[in-house]
């Protein structure tokens, strides 16, 4: 019996253990399923939140891109409006400038009209004067004819007196008094012209015509005293002349003549140099002869090259002095042969420096002489140009005087043709004035119409700009509100997420408690066994 009872109890306990194991397995499966469900729920919530946030971010980015595009379009439209306004303003300025030019042309044409009217009045006066001159010329021709008749009569009457006049002329030639002919009567020349002749005489006699000599009268005036022979001695009269007179005399000469005059006497040369600013040649210093240097040793070549680079051929800076002191120290440490070579090279360098200074002084003197010679050349060339201009003007005046006699004969017909031309030009000017006035009126009307159109366009553009700015402000406000709402929804979702997390934690805690309770029940059942 005991054995049967123990078997029954063992079977009951086995059944309870099997049931407990089955319950534990079921509880584990349920717990795993619940964990998977919770994980799926959390993943789904997280994915939903990520999808929503991505969608919100995409929407906000699109809104921002659209806003940027609209702002860019507004800026481009504004820039176009500004450019169009600037173009309109420039066009208006161009129109105003054109109007001003037209007005100036009108004023100039009116002035020309007044000038033409004045010239027409003068031409009429000249016609009257020409008619008077023609009448006077006709009367003068009559008087000339009468005088010719009288002269012919006088010649016939004075034929007997010609023999007496011939006898008187032969008697005068016999006595040695020259006859008073028109060719011997020479005009009195000024002192300036006499000095000019004196200055030109040696140049002319040496260059072109050696056989030509000055007249006694001119030589006496200029200080030339003719001798019994062919040569003449010249007394220097230009030494005591004032500077203004000398300059006036040199104004009639060329460069070679001035140089020839200055070479005749030292006093005149100094006066010419003082007038034209030519520096007197300085004494050229004697050139020091270069001494033949002895052959340089190969060991001393490097030292000599260093001394050349240090000395620098005449430099006097502080750095060079320091370097020279170093070179002297090096020289003291050299041998006797090297010292000799170094001394020879230093003497040669000093000689080269002295030669260089002399050459520079000579260069300065030559430059000063060249500058003075260039000044003299420029002055003489200017004088030559002035004289050529004066000669050309004189020739033109003579040609004009010759032409004036021919033009006086044609002046009557020319004035008639000129009056007709003036009348035609007056008619043309009047027509052109009327046309220009009409064009000015048309341009003013067009300009006013364009200005009105531009002002209307500017107003429309400003209104469109204001509307766009208002729309942008309203859209910005809507976007701000949407962003705030999305942020609030995000916070609410976060709060829901936290609640779900707390609930999951509570479920996990409850499941853990159930696991502990099951384990405690299992331990108790094991304690009832054998």
Give, in degrees to the nearest 5, the angle at Cα 245 between 239 and 250.
Answer: 85
Assess contact for 235 and 224: CB atoms under 8 A.
yes
Integer Cα distance of 47 and 59 in angstroms: 18
Please tell me the predicted confidence (pLDDT) of residue 205. Answer: 36
Instruction: Give residue 152's pLDDT.
Output: 62
Q: What span, in angstroms and rounded, lies between the C-alpha atoms of 28 and 19?
A: 14
Residue 261 lies in a domain: yes
Q: In Å, how far are 7, 172, 185, 441 from 175, measured between CA atoms?
A: 211, 5, 20, 97
pLDDT per residue, tens digit, the chain (530 aa), is 556 666 776 777 777 778 778 777 876 777 777 677 777 777 787 788 788 888 887 887 787 788 778 778 877 877 887 787 777 778 777 777 777 787 777 777 777 777 877 877 777 777 677 667 666 666 766 777 677 666 766 665 565 455 555 555 555 555 554 444 333 333 333 333 433 333 333 333 333 333 333 333 333 333 333 343 433 344 446 677 777 777 777 776 766 677 777 777 778 777 777 777 655 444 333 333 343 333 444 444 444 444 444 444 444 567 667 766 766 676 566 667 766 766 777 787 788 888 888 888 888 888 888 887 788 878 888 888 888 888 888 888 877 877 777 777 777 677 777 778 878 888 888 888 888 888 888 888 887 888 888 788 888 888 888 888 888 788 778 877 877 888 788 788 888 888 888 888 888 888 888 878 777 776 654 444 44
Residue 46 lies in a domain: no
Domain contains 269? yes
Residue 255 within a domain: yes
Provide the 10 A C-beta neighbour count for residue 26.
10
- What share of residues in the chain are helix, strand, coil (percent, to 5)? 85, 0, 15
Determine how many CB atoms are found less than 10 A away from the CB of residue 489: 12
Which regions of 188-286 does DSSP assign to beta strands (E)?
224-226, 232-234
CB 267 within 8 A of CB 259: no
pLDDT at 283: 38
Could you give the dihedral angle defined by the CA atoms of residues 237, 238, 242 and 245, in that order, rounded to the nearest 10 degrees?
110
Q: Which domain holds residue 266?
A: 190-224+233-276
88 in any annotated domain: no
Residue 155 lies in a domain: no
CA atoms of 231 and 227, how far apart (whole Å): 7
* Residue 474, pLDDT score: 82
Burial of 164 (0-12, 13-18, 19+ CB in 10 A): exposed
d(CA 201, CA 530): 173
Give me the helices (H) in 223-293, please.
243-250, 255-262, 266-276
Q: pTM above the 0.95 mark?
A: no
Contacts of 363 (CB under 8 A, 6+ apart): none
Give the total number of structural domains in the chain.
1
Cβ burial of 195 (10 Å; 0-12, 13-18, 19+) is buried
pLDDT at 317: 65
Q: Is the backbone of residue 312 left (phi > 0), alpha (psi -120 to 50) or beta?
A: left
pLDDT of residue 191: 38
pLDDT of residue 73: 81
Residue 6 has what pLDDT? 65
pLDDT at 338: 66
pLDDT value for 2: 57
What's the length of the chain? 530
């Amino acid at each position: 019996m005991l054995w049967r009872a123990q078997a029954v109890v063992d079977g009951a306990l086995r059944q309870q253990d099997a049931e407990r194991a089955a319950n534990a397995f079921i509880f584990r499966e349920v717990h795993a399923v619940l964990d998977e469900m919770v994980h799926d729920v959390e993943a789904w919530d997280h994915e939903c939140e990520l999808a929503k946030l991505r969608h919100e971010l995409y929407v906000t980015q699109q809104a921002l891109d659209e806003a940027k595009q609209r702002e860019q379009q507004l800026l481009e439209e504004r820039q176009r409006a500004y450019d169009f306004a600037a173009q309109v303003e420039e066009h208006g300025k161009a129109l105003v400038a054109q109007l001003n030019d037209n007005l100036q042309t009108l004023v100039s044409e009116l002035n020309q009209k007044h000038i033409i009217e004045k010239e027409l009045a003068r031409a009429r006066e000249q016609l009257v004067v020409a008619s008077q001159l023609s009448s006077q010329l006709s009367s003068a021709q009559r008087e000339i004819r009468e005088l010719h008749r009288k002269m012919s009569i006088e010649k016939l009457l004075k034929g007997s007196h010609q023999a007496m006049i011939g006898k008187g002329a032969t008697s005068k030639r016999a006595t040695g008094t020259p006859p008073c002919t028109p060719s011997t009567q020479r005009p009195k020349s000024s002192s300036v012209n006499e000095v000019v002749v004196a200055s030109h005489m040696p140049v002319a006699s040496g260059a072109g015509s050696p056989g030509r000599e000055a007249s006694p009268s001119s030589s006496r005036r200029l200080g030339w005293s003719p001798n019994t022979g062919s040569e003449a001695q010249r007394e220097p009269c230009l030494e005591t002349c004032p500077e203004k007179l000398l300059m006036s005399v040199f104004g009639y000469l060329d460069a070679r003549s001035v140089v020839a005059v200055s070479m005749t006497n030292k006093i005149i040369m100094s006066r010419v140099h003082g007038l034209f600013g030519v520096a007197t040649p300085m004494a050229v210093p004697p050139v020091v002869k270069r001494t033949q240097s002895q052959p340089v040793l190969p060991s001393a070549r490097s030292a000599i090259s260093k001394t050349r680079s240090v000395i620098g051929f005449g430099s006097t800076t502080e750095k060079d002095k320091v370097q020279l002191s170093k070179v002297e120290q090096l020289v003291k440490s050299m041998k006797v042969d090297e010292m000799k070579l170094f001394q020879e090279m230093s003497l040669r360098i000093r000689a080269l420096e002295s030669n260089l200074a002399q050459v520079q002084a000579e260069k300065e003197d030559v430059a000063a002489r060249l500058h003075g010679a260039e000044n003299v050349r420029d002055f003489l060339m200017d004088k030559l140009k002035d004289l050529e201009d004066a000669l050309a003007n004189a020739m033109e005046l003579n040609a004009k005087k010759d032409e004036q006699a021919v033009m006086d004969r044609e002046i009557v017909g020319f004035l008639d043709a000129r009056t007709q031309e003036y009348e035609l030009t007056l008619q043309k000017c009047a027509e052109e004035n009327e046309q220009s006035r009409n064009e000015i009126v048309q341009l003013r009307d067009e300009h006013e119409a364009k200005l009105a159109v531009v002002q209307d366009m500017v107003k429309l553009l400003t209104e469109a700009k204001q509307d766009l700015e208002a729309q942008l402000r309203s859209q910005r406000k809507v976007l701000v509100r949407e962003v705030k709402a999305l942020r609030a929804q995000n916070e609410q979702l976060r709060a829901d997420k936290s609640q779900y997390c707390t609930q999951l934690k509570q479920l996990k805690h409850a499941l853990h408690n159930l696991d502990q309770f099951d384990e405690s029940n299992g331990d108790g059942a094991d304690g009832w066994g054998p």
